[in-house]
Amino acid sequence: MFSLLNILRIVAVLEGVSYLLLLFIASPYKYFTQDDAYVKLLGMPHGILFIAYIVLVVIVGRQLKWTSRTFLIALAASIIPFGTFYVEKKFLNPNRKS
């Protein structure tokens, strides 16, 4: 059974991958070729994953009683390349040492 924490872990990784694809493949391709096909293809899924990540961070953060600092780090990670991977490893991984 999937818990909200596991769903957030999955969404965090997918959001991070979609963000990196947009930043390092779709955007350069658009500006070098004047063809925005990849941006259009990746933009909507990334937007949906971004919103899902934010909503899930709010819900899971409340459930786990995160400090304000942890909560803000998790939110800020959504706009920093590789940020959601850090959050998944540091705050969401059930095997991490406390």
pTM: 0.90
Q: What burial class does residue 75 get, using C-beta atoms within 10 Å of its C-beta: 0-12 exposed, 13-18 middle, 19+ buried? A: middle
| 45 vs 91: CA distance, rounded Å | 24
CA distances to 44, 53, 57 from 19, in Å: 11, 12, 17
pLDDT for residue 97 is more than 80: no
Which tens digit of pLDDT belongs to each residue from 50-83?
A: 999 999 999 999 999 999 999 999 999 999 999 9
| 41 vs 59: CA distance, rounded Å | 29
